[in-house]
């Protein structure tokens, strides 16, 4: 008998338990491993939990099983199919579903080896109830769908693996808590994004864009033009009506703080009634505090981020310039000191040369004196020799 078409794929294991267990004496646990040749079991890791059903204890024996002839239980060797009886299984809404089963060759062979297939249905049902008292039947395994079986795929295909992005990455729109949490690719992407953002803001700032300014002293409010020079070193807040809000210039190197939101409100008492989502406060060591309110939150956040980056870059450039200036001054001082020492050594060398020349002349004079004394000594030795030879003393002394 062909299947009525009402049975779903998820109910196949329960249907096999209803149709086979009463005939071959297998328990529900044994039927978990049963599959036809056309439907191989799926791996355990890919099986999905099937919906729960009422246990066999709650079912009653089919009332029509005893009235059917025993020939309905015998396998047809020529066709290879088992013509089974119709069984009505109660559902939750009180209706009954018709079931039929077509076994494969492997299942036919298994049925032929068990003589219990010719026993009446009432006897088999009692065996099933007795075998299932000691243990409860587990949930039936889910069988692959007919579409996969007909295509030759005997196991459900797992979903393709998709790359998982960490929370806080750039792609999901959430700012990362720490830069160290980003991957090298995300860091490079974030770097390029910030570079493009700063470049765009610099163009807008050089051209000038409108923004509201609140005077810190009077609380007056007026629209000003936010602009910067082409070297991005000075912020100019130009007001059309200086009687309401005067013009202001802030040097980037003098900025001591850039604040937004609650931090901005804490640094400005006049910002109590302003929209904090658009509030921006700039503090400087050489100028009054600038309280600004952007037209949109996006404009405020863009100005805040870019001014922070430019301020840090400007601070680094200023520190490098100061370091270079200090090193240059130190080098010039060292060179000057070396030149002075060289001049001192030169002067000392000249003095030493003069002194050496004086010593040389004195030595020459001493040498001449020694030579003169040697000549006198030779002369005296000659006179003494004449006296020793018996010469006249007076002639010798006079000579």
* Tokens matching residue 228: 């910067």
286-321 residue pLDDT tens? 888 999 999 999 999 999 999 999 988 887 888 888
Instruction: Note the pLDDT of residue 129.
Output: 53
Q: Which domains does the chain have, with CATH numbers?
A: 9-150 (no CATH), 189-361 (2.30.29.30)
Global pTM value: 0.42
Instruction: Note the pLDDT of residue 382.
Output: 80
Instruction: Note the pLDDT of residue 283.
Output: 93
Under-70 pLDDT residues of the chain: 1-179, 391-399
Instruction: Note the pLDDT of residue 281.
Output: 94
The answer to whether the CB of 252 falls within 8 A of the CB of 310 is: yes
């Amino acid at each position: 008998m062909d299947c009525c078409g009402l049975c779903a794929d998820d109910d196949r294991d329960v249907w096999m338990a209803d149709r086979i267990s009463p005939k071959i004496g297998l328990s529900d646990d044994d039927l978990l491993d049963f599959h036809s040749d056309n439907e191989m079991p799926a791996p355990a890791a890919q099986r999905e939990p099937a919906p729960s059903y009422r246990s066999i204890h709650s079912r009653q024996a089919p009332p029509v099983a005893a009235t059917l002839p025993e020939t309905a239980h015998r396998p047809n060797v020529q066709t290879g199919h088992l013509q089974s009886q119709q069984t009505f299984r109660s559902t939750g809404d009180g209706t009954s579903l018709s079931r039929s089963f077509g076994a494969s060759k492997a299942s036919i062979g298994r049925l032929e080896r068990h003589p219990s297939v010719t026993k009446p249905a009432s006897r088999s049902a009692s065996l099933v109830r007795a075998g299932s008292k000691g243990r409860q039947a587990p949930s039936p395994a889910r069988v692959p769908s007919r579409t996969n079986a007909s295509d030759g795929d005997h196991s459900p295909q797992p979903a393709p693996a998709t790359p998982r992005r960490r929370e806080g990455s750039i792609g999901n729109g959430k700012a990362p808590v720490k830069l160290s949490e980003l991957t090298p690719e995300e860091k490079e992407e974030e770097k390029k994004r910030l570079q493009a953002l700063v470049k765009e803001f610099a163009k807008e700032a050089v051209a000038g864009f409108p923004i509201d300014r609140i005077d810190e002293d009077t609380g007056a409010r007026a629209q000003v033009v936010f602009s910067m020079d082409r070297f991005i070193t000075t912020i100019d807040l130009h007001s059309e009506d200086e009687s309401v809000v005067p013009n202001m210039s802030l040097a980037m190197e003098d900025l001591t703080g850039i604040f937004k939101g609650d931090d901005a409100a804490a640094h400005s008492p006049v910002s109590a009634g302003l929209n904090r989502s658009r509030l921006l406060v700039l503090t400087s060591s050489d100028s009054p505090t600038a309280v600004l309110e952007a037209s949109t939150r996006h404009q405020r956040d863009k100005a805040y981020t870019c001014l922070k980056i430019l301020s840090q870059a400007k601070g680094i450039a200023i520190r490098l310039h100061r370091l270079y200036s200090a090193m240059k001054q130190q080098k010039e001082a060292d060179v000057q000191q070396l030149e002075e020492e060289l001049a001192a050594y030169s002067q000392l060398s000249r003095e030493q040369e003069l002194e050496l020349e004086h010593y040389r002349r004195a030595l020459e004079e001493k040498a001449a004196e020694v030579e003169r004394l040697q000549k006198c000594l030779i002369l005296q030795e000659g006179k003494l020799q004449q006296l020793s030879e018996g010469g006249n003393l007076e002639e010798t002394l006079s000579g």
